[in-house]
Amino acid sequence: MPNDQDKQKYINCLAEITALLIKTDPAGLMHGCPEDEYDPEACRILITITKFKLKEEVFREISRDFKDSLQISNVGQIIGDEVWKIKEKYKL
């Protein structure tokens, strides 16, 4: 069972991923949409960065997820480096 410190780490990490998606807006969703529009993608990215250990795997999975869910290609290349920095920051 995760302790409170671990829970907070994941909450903060998810918040940073969400902020990154809002800032970069890879799917062009932020024009007239609510701030939580990228929450599902942010959650999937959090799962991805905890599951995969190689940078290339993380990039590939992010790209695949966005292609499957929003029909957008190469999102892993667009935000992958920033996502990887977040992964390293939180030691996931």
Question: In this structure, is the dihedral angle defined by the CA atoms of residues 68, 79, 84 and 21, taken in order, positive or negative?
Answer: negative
Residue with token string 């969703």: 29
Q: Supply the pLDDT for residue 32.
A: 83
String of b and e for 41-62 (b: at least 16 CB within 10 Å)?
Answer: bbebbbebbeebeeeeebbebb
Stretch among 22-26, 28-32, 38-42, 61-65 having the lowest mean pLDDT: 28-32
The pair of three-digit structure tokens given for residue 15, joined into one six-digit string = 């918040």
Distances (CA, A) of 48 to 11, 39, 56, 64, 80: 15, 14, 12, 11, 11
pTM of the model: 0.93
Q: Calculate the average pLDDT of the chain.
A: 94
Nearest by Cα to 23 from 43, 8, 42? 42
> What mean pLDDT comes out for the span 13-40?
93
